[in-house]
Chains A and B, each alone.
Chain A
Amino acid sequence: MAQRIARCGVFGKDFYYSIQHPIEMKQLHLLLWLCALPLLASAQKTTISGYLRDASSGEPLISANIYDQHSDQGTVTNVFGFYSLTLRSDSVDLNFSYIGYEPVNYIFLLEQDTTLNIDLDGAVQLEEVVVRASRQGERIEERSQMSQMTVPVEQIKMAPVLLGETDVLKTLQLLPGVQSGGEGQTGLYVRGGSPDQNLVLLDGVPVYNTSHLLGIFSIFNADAVKNVTLTKGGFPARYGGRLSSILEINMKEGNLQEWHGEGSIGMISSRLTLEGPIKKDKTSILVSGRRTYADLLFRPLVALANQGAEEEVKINLHFYDLNAKVQHKFNDKHRLFLSAYLGADVFFTDVSDEEDSFGGGIDWGNSISALRWNWQINNKIFANTTLTYSRYQIDVIAEQSSRYEDGTSEAFSANYFSGIEDWAGRVDFDYLPAPGHYIRFGGGITNHTYRPGALSLNVAFDQEKFDTLIGSRNEFSDELFLYLEDDMQLGPLKANVGLHGSGFKVGDQFYTSLQPRIGLNYLLPKDIALKVSFARMTQFINLLTSESFSLPTDLWVPSTERIKPQQSWQAALGIARTFGDGIEISLEGYYKQMHNVISYKEGASFLFGLENDWQDKVTQGDGESYGAELFVQKKFGRTTGWLGYTLSWNYRQFDEINGGQRYPFRYDRRHDLSIVVNHDFNDRISLSGAWVYGTGNAVTLNTFEYPIGYFDFDFGSNFNTIQSGGERNAFRMSDYHRLDLSLRMTKQMKRHQRTWVFGVYNAYFHRNPYFILADRDFVVQPDGSVEDQPVFREVSILPIIPSISYQFKF
């Protein structure tokens, strides 16, 4: 007896079908086959198109698979859930599938162009989805795109937490080929690249600073995120502007069916997400917010400490972010989205008494918004038009004021600020003319405004006032691009071939770049996929960052007449296979060359020398990185997880640094290992753990010293010395390793589902170094005496950190 497991719409009618009765299926096949006989004489092509969505929320399913078992042709949905498949007029046996959802089979006689919208239900028990390993296009060996990893949000939420916060970027750092910069940092170092070489897109809008709390958390609220995809190589032509990776974070679009919410109350922050229909099946809204409250918690303690003290101390430390999205569906062909992100970090301290006041702090934040129009032009062409705005700004403030008994006063304030602002528009077309071809083309333009560091000084002394701005000049540039790519299937060979062309105008300078891209996937016998890719990339905007620290004060600057665009080419080769019950194994090797990579010159820093042009503080050179990545993942069963191991080498060479000699990049991490395990004891309790290990970061240490001057006075002599160390980054800090654990206890209450999450970060309290400095200390000698001698001291910032949080979902 047929039962409804999915709702399908064809010309407005509902069809019901079931996959649980093979005999009935065979009979139906025979019937349809007989009906289809007259049509065999006709070779007419017809197109099936439509959208795949989550049945309960209406959220589009990205990269879901549609496969016709009769013709052995298939396709995938795009980012908005749209698909199009052109087949011969014949009977079709379509399989619609998406990981974590009940698959649907739909058999009918294809006589004319058909619109078929499918809503998939989430799988109740994944173990019963028997044929998952054979679903076309889902297995790692069948994906044409290599060097790409899609991390489901559910997997991110299961990962161990820091201070009760699940973090998108921290989870990505557990993948092979992706390194963190060090303790607490959310920056991504992908295949030897630096953080500015990653294009981070939030709903298609570039994000320039991805960290809260100096890199301890990312700005992405996992509750508002639908999926995360990281591409490390073999870049399709539709992407450009960065050398090392593309990180796409897509927000949820809002539940079109009913209102839902989820949130969390943690030790230092809380978050709440609400989504639901303003008009069912037409308009929805999603709002998600998060704020720390460390400042609120500490305020009474600080007030208590201030009692009776001569000085009053005030501390303001918090971050917040707010995501909002509205979607409106005019009809099946037109849909409009408006999304926005607003976030900021504030850290400020003020110490004051009756006469004096000293204050200082730093605040930074992003403002992002996107207006998107989806237009299904016909059953083969889909267009997406996007207008975006992105702004990042940072302020570093220092203030001092004094009041004197004679009534006079003086005041001083310094405000360093910098930032970048973009206005952009782009149009993307998806064109599916025939099975085996998925053509994408489009173009766009971005106007950038840069403020590469300015210092505002205000001094008031008696009757005198002084007000000046140093390094205040804004800079502007326009960046445009066009691209064309085709995802092809030629028997066992899948190929993605494309061309990305870009131009960059800054001042009187106009740079252009043609970037070929190719990715091949060949299915060998025994379902082993051989993958190879080549990509050229060009990057026109740069991040000036110290190799010693990654700070929000890092400056975004354009390529100019003096500073050439960064360029790279990368080749990768890999094999992949799925074993047994869903264990995926992939092994990839890569080689990357980078040109015109940027670095501060020896002795330069962001804060000093502001009166000079920033271009005088930087130099350009080359980079080379290569390595191998092993990834083993188990996706199904009570115990899931993955192992990622990277063996890599990473070098830089600048004529003006290290005497022009090649040296290891600071983040040259020879070995990087991550083991992530999640075990479901039952439906209510799960334990997850992550152990990471990495070779210590490279550092420059002075190892010897010698005089360059000498003075002999009556009262003594003195040498004027300098220290030197030979090679740059010739030494290593201690190896980094850390164990994080997280225990989740879920219970379905009357009106909501609640989860207690107990976590511990750095469970065995390994002092992972953040930086190293030369110091002096009293050291006990073998004979028991104590001597003052030079030592090297590693400073850590994150000890063992337990956490408890309460999560709820309704």
Chain B
Amino acid sequence: MRYIALFTFVLLTVLLSNSCGEDPFTQIVDIELPEHEPRLAVHALMFSEDDDVSVLVSNSRSVLSKEEFSVFPDASIQLSGPNVDDVVFAYTPDDGRHYTLLGEDWAADEGEYNLEVQQPDYPEASARQLMPKAPAILEVTVEEDGALSEDGARLDEIVIEIQDEPGAHYYALQAEVEERYLDGNNDTIVSSYSIWLDSNDPILTYAEVDRRGALVCSDGAFDGTTYRFATFTWESLPFGESSNRLLKVRVTSLSRDAYLYYRSLAQYREADGNPFAEPVTVHSNIENGYGIFGLGHTTVFKVEL
């Protein structure tokens, strides 16, 4: 009996001493995060199709910091490489980015491009990329209702056949419909809209490339050979509605860093808010800083609808 009494007394004492105070199931802990040294954060993704390119220069901060982010109008940016030497960047306050004109056909196959960014308050950040070769699109075929989605829906099919070269390559597939028409003033108006590509091919995953949806992959499954990407679109293509409609299929050969960035960013977005998702680290290749400098060489194939 005395054992029961002693046991009960000790138990009650512990219970009472712990029943007051904060939430018994959670506690704030001090986790010693390594002191974060803010660095320049650079975002520069450049595509051969673009005749102007832009760079966002900002700063990183600790997650526990109360400091604000900044964009740096006074950042100095140098881009060097084939056809781009001596370009000058100008800051645009609308989107905080630094722009420069490169002109058409600036992208040189396998040319080495270097980006250096300086800002007085931070160490210099830099990155180096090789411009991939323009991908070789052999054929694009389009068939109305030619594809079947996983749940049996009939969708317009777009099959893109490319010739891959030996070595590691990374591709992004995009498409848009372009239409031309004459307005009341007999001016030719060109308008285009992007279409969303999808695929049952397990090597293709979705990512947002150059602010448009894309399917991305590496060439691990077809290195050095031809490959047919079977894709479809959930939007009906305007077949035969007009003779002035084109389907423009854009195949971009991405640099490895650009591919890793886009793919990891897509995973990051998808995992956001999902407590069961694995943690994702967005790829970064900026030396002495954070962010991405990536290149893409695009080939466009047009098909009349």
- Give chain A's interface residues, CB within 8 Å of chain B: 468, 470, 546-549, 551, 599-608, 611-613, 615-616, 657-659, 685, 700-712, 717, 719, 721-726, 728, 731, 733-734, 743, 745, 758, 760, 763-765, 767, 769, 772-774, 777, 789-797, 799-800, 802
| Additional A-B contact list (8), CB under 8 Å, known A658-B281, A707-B43 | A603-B266, A704-B36, A734-B29, A743-B3, A743-B7, A769-B29, A773-B275, A790-B64
| Candidate in A547, A605, A685 with the most chain B CB atoms within 10 angstroms | A605
Q: Could you list 30 A-B pairs, sorted by A, with CB under 8 Å?
A: A470-B151, A548-B276, A599-B278, A601-B278, A602-B278, A602-B280, A606-B276, A608-B274, A657-B278, A700-B279, A704-B60, A704-B61, A706-B41, A708-B41, A708-B265, A708-B291, A708-B292, A712-B93, A719-B69, A723-B63, A724-B290, A725-B279, A743-B7, A767-B27, A789-B64, A792-B29, A793-B26, A794-B27, A795-B26, A796-B25
Check: B150 CB closer than 8 A to any chain A CB: yes
Check: B58 CB closer than 8 A to any chain A CB: yes
Given A710-B96, A723-B63, A800-B18, verify A603-B278 contact (CB < 8 Å). Answer: yes
Complex interface bits, B277-305 against A, C-beta within 8 A gives 1, otherwise 0: 11111111000001110000000000000
> In the complex, what residue of chain A is closest to B39 when comparing beta carbons?
A706
A359 CA / B7 CA spacing, docked (Å):
42
Is there an interface contact between A601 and B267, defined as CB atoms closer than 8 Å? yes
Contacts of B291 in A (CB 8 A): 706, 708
Is there an interface contact between B25 and A797, defined as CB atoms closer than 8 Å? yes
Is there an interface contact between B271 and A603, defined as CB atoms closer than 8 Å? yes
Contacts of A802 in B (CB 8 A): 11, 15
Is there an interface contact between B267 and A603, defined as CB atoms closer than 8 Å? yes
List 4 tightest A-B contacts by C-beta distance, closest first: A603-B267, A706-B41, A710-B96, A706-B60
Is there an interface contact between B278 and A794, defined as CB atoms closer than 8 Å? no
Is there an interface contact between B58 and A707, defined as CB atoms closer than 8 Å? yes
Check: B195 CB closer than 8 A to any chain A CB: no
Check: B244 CB closer than 8 A to any chain A CB: no
Complex partner residue of A704 from B18, B62, B267, CB under 8 angstroms: B62
A658 CA / B283 CA spacing, docked (Å):
9
Is there an interface contact between B4 and A758, defined as CB atoms closer than 8 Å? yes
Contacts of A725 in B (CB 8 A): 279, 281
A724 CA / B4 CA spacing, docked (Å):
54
A601 CA / B151 CA spacing, docked (Å):
25
Check: B95 CB closer than 8 A to any chain A CB: yes
Check: B121 CB closer than 8 A to any chain A CB: no
Is there an interface contact between B69 and A793, defined as CB atoms closer than 8 Å? no
Is there an interface contact between B31 and A792, defined as CB atoms closer than 8 Å? yes
> In the complex, what residue of chain B is closest to A604 when comparing beta carbons?
B278
Contacts of A774 in B (CB 8 A): 63
Is there an interface contact between A703 and B59, defined as CB atoms closer than 8 Å? no
Is there an interface contact between A703 and B268, defined as CB atoms closer than 8 Å? no
> In the complex, what residue of chain A is closest to B38 when comparing beta carbons?
A704
Given A710-B97, A791-B28, verify A763-B276 contact (CB < 8 Å). Answer: no
- Report A408 CB to chain B, min CB distance, Å: 26
Is there an interface contact between B281 and A790, defined as CB atoms closer than 8 Å? no
- Report A716 CB to chain B, min CB distance, Å: 12
Given A704-B60, A708-B43, A710-B96, verify A615-B69 contact (CB < 8 Å). Answer: no
| Candidate in B60, B95, B278, B282 with the most chain A CB atoms within 10 angstroms | B278
Is there an interface contact between B95 and A711, defined as CB atoms closer than 8 Å? yes
- Report A123 CB to chain B, min CB distance, Å: 27
Contacts of A719 in B (CB 8 A): 58, 69
Is there an interface contact between B24 and A799, defined as CB atoms closer than 8 Å? yes
Contacts of B41 in A (CB 8 A): 706-708
A763 CA / B7 CA spacing, docked (Å):
11
A800 CA / B19 CA spacing, docked (Å):
10
Is there an interface contact between B7 and A549, defined as CB atoms closer than 8 Å? no
Given A611-B150, A685-B3, verify A659-B283 contact (CB < 8 Å). Answer: yes
Check: B94 CB closer than 8 A to any chain A CB: yes
Contacts of B60 in A (CB 8 A): 704-706
Contacts of B150 in A (CB 8 A): 470, 611
- Report B219 CB to chain A, min CB distance, Å: 16
A725 CA / B284 CA spacing, docked (Å):
12
- Report A763 CB to chain B, min CB distance, Å: 7
Is there an interface contact between A731 and B31, defined as CB atoms closer than 8 Å? yes
> In the complex, what residue of chain A is closest to B282 when comparing beta carbons?
A722
> In the complex, what residue of chain A is closest to B18 when comparing beta carbons?
A765
Check: B71 CB closer than 8 A to any chain A CB: yes
> In the complex, what residue of chain B is closest to A728 when comparing beta carbons?
B279
Contacts of A790 in B (CB 8 A): 63-64
A23 CA / B46 CA spacing, docked (Å):
100
Is there an interface contact between B95 and A712, defined as CB atoms closer than 8 Å? yes
Contacts of A708 in B (CB 8 A): 41, 43, 56, 265, 291-292
A709 CA / B45 CA spacing, docked (Å):
12
> In the complex, what residue of chain A is closest to B35 when comparing beta carbons?
A703
- Report B205 CB to chain A, min CB distance, Å: 8
A708 CA / B202 CA spacing, docked (Å):
28
> In the complex, what residue of chain A is closest to B62 when comparing beta carbons?
A704
Check: B120 CB closer than 8 A to any chain A CB: no
- Report B27 CB to chain A, min CB distance, Å: 5
Contacts of B59 in A (CB 8 A): 706
Is there an interface contact between A603 and B7, defined as CB atoms closer than 8 Å? no
| Candidate in B26, B34, B36 with the most chain A CB atoms within 10 angstroms | B26
A795 CA / B282 CA spacing, docked (Å):
27
- Report A132 CB to chain B, min CB distance, Å: 30
Given A700-B279, A792-B29, A793-B29, verify A603-B11 contact (CB < 8 Å). Answer: no
- Report A725 CB to chain B, min CB distance, Å: 7
Within 8 A of A (CB), among B60-89: 60-64, 66, 69, 71
Within 8 A of A (CB), among B141-185: 150-151
Given A611-B150, A704-B61, A799-B24, verify A764-B7 contact (CB < 8 Å). Answer: no
| Candidate in A602, A712, A745, A790 with the most chain B CB atoms within 10 angstroms | A602
Is there an interface contact between B24 and A767, defined as CB atoms closer than 8 Å? yes
Is there an interface contact between B95 and A722, defined as CB atoms closer than 8 Å? no
- Report B40 CB to chain A, min CB distance, Å: 9
